[in-house]
């Protein structure tokens, strides 16, 4: 039996299904997909090779007229060119206003395919089939879609909700170790910002989680999705609360950008960012030393990095100023107040940030 989590957004509400070896149950969830129009399965090269045929057959057996579009994959293809190419595929393969896009892959596929669905004929149907841990706990939920510009990440996009998110944890077996770790960084984030019980669970089950135990994964993915669903339901368009999900990200984006997206995966950068956000919170007595140590220890115990290497602190702070969450001159950050509780702190003095960047 799948775990089912509802994302409560009025008319845009939808369910997230999480299970193991649950692919056959997907067909039964597609009653709302119009059969008269073509659907398209969008994936990347790696994921399509592994799972494309299986999903294609399920969708076909559900009675859908299904077309396929396979992207090169990777962050470097998440751009306007790929989007333009995808639109052309959608037109030439005969999609219309009643069509549905299925996004099969990690966050890259989900973000591009989601934005294509949001904007093709001003919005068509859209279903997420996340295959990476990061996508299952984060990017497939909440409706942020978009692409990068050469001048910055995720600068173009839409808030656009899928009608269904369907995650089979078995797919994670084939995920590369560093991609798995990237997802774990986001999982830890949920524990720190929102849920001390999840944090405890992550502390006590390190070995089984590292070994990708399916039941552990169902537990933590469900919990992360519940948390994200709760936050998004209260603040769909990121006007307040939703910003909590950015813990570690303002630092992290700076680390990623200053190493040209080569040295760290996103999750590694976020993990280091959480270490420094925690250090800043400790330096200002927002969080006690014991909780701060638990955050850093957990990150270390999952094999995630703790330090950004040899970047100059002044450059990091300068880059953090550019972050799109900062609308004036000052820096706003999410900082942990305790395990399971965090706050959005505005008007932070850049010198204070530079002081803890050691």
Binding site for ligand NAD (CB under 6 A): 44, 46-47, 50, 73-75, 78, 105-109, 111, 131-132, 134-135, 138-139, 142, 144, 154, 171-172, 174-175, 179, 182, 266
To a copy of itself, the closest distance from the beta carbon of 150 in angstroms equals 8
Q: Is 330 annotated as a binding residue?
A: no
Tell me if 151 contacts a copy of itself by CB under 8 A: yes
To ligand NAD, the closest distance from the beta carbon of 287 in angstroms equals 25
Residue 262: CB atoms within 10 A of its CB come to: 6
To ligand NAD, the closest distance from the beta carbon of 204 in angstroms equals 26
Within 13 Å and on the Cβ side, how many CA atoms surround 260? 1
Nearer to a copy of itself, 121 or 241 (CB): 121
In the chain the first and final C-alpha atoms are separated, in Å, by: 48
In 3D space, the residue among 129, 140, 110, 117 whose CA is nearest the CA of residue 51 turns out to be: 129
CB 50 within 8 Å of CB 104: no
CA distance 184 to 268: 9
The binder of a copy of itself chosen from 84, 240, 309, 346 (CB under 8 A)? 84
C-beta contacts of 347-356 below 8 A and 24+ residues apart? 348/280, 350/317, 350/320, 350/321, 352/280, 352/283, 352/284, 353/280, 353/316, 353/317, 353/320, 354/313, 354/314, 354/316, 354/317, 355/283, 356/276, 356/279, 356/280, 356/283
Tell me if 98 contacts a copy of itself by CB under 8 A: yes
CA distance 12 to 344: 27
Q: Which does 113 bind (CB under 5 to 8 A by kind): a copy of itself, ligand NAD, none?
A: none
**Complete DSSP assignment for 139-171:** ITSS-EEEEEETTEEEEEEEE---SEEEEEGGG
Q: Which does 242 bind (CB under 5 to 8 A by kind): a copy of itself, ligand NAD, none?
A: none
Residues forming beta bridges with residue 68, ordered by sequence position: 41
Q: Is 131 annotated as a binding residue?
A: yes
Judged by CB under 8 A, the stretch of 104-112, 118-126, 284-292, 311-319 that binds a copy of itself is 118-126
To a copy of itself, the closest distance from the beta carbon of 123 in angstroms equals 7
Catalytic residue among 144, 189, 294, 319: 144
Q: Is 266 annotated as a binding residue?
A: yes
Question: Which residues make up the interface to a copy of itself (CB under 8 A)?
Answer: 36-37, 80, 83-84, 87-88, 91-92, 96-98, 115, 118-123, 144, 146, 149-152, 155-159, 237, 324-325, 327-328
Active site residues: 122, 144, 186, 228, 238, 242, 246, 249, 253, 266
């Amino acid at each position: 039996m799948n775990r089912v989590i509802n994302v409560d957004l009025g008319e845009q509400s939808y369910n997230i299904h999480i299970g193991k070896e649950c692919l056959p149950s997907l067909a039964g969830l597609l009653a709302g997909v119009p059969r008269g129009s073509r659907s398209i399965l969008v994936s990347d090269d790696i994921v399509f090779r592994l799972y494309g045929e299986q999903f294609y057959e399920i969708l076909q057996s559900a009675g859908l007229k299904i077309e396929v579009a396979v992207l090169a994959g990777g962050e470097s293809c998440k751009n306007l060119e790929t989007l333009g190419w995808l639109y052309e595929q959608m037109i030439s393969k005969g999609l219309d206003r009643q069509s549905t896009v299925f996004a099969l892959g990690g966050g890259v596929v989900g973000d591009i395919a989601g934005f294509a669905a949001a904007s093709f004929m001003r919005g068509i149907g859209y279903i997420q089939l996340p295959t990476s841990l990061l996508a299952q706990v984060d990017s497939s939920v909440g409706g942020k879609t978009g692409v990068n510009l050469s001048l910055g990440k995720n600068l173009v996009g839409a808030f656009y909700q899928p009608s269904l998110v369907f995650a089979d944890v078995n797919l994670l077996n084939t995920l590369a170790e560093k991609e798995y770790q990237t997802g774990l960084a986001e999982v830890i984030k949920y524990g720190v910002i929102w849920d001390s019980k999840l944090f405890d669970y992550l502390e006590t089950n390190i070995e089984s989680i590292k070994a990708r135990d399916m039941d552990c994964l169902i537990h933590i993915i469900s919990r992360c999705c519940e948390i994200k669903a709760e936050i998004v339901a209260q603040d769909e368009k990121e006007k307040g609360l939703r910003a909590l999900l950015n813990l570690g990200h303002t630092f992290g984006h700076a680390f990623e950008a200053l190493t040209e997206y080569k040295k760290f995966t996103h999750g590694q950068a976020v993990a280091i960012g959480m270490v420094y956000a925690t250090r800043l919170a400790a330096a200002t007595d927002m969080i006690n030393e014991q909780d701060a140590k638990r955050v850093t220890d957990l990150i270390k115990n999952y094999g995630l990095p703790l330090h950004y290497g040899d970047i100059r602190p002044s450059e990091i702070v300068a880059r953090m100023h550019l972050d799109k969450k900062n609308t004036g001159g000052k820096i706003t950050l999410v900082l942990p107040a305790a395990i399971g509780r965090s706050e959005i702190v505005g008007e932070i003095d850049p010198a204070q940030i530079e002081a803890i960047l050691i």
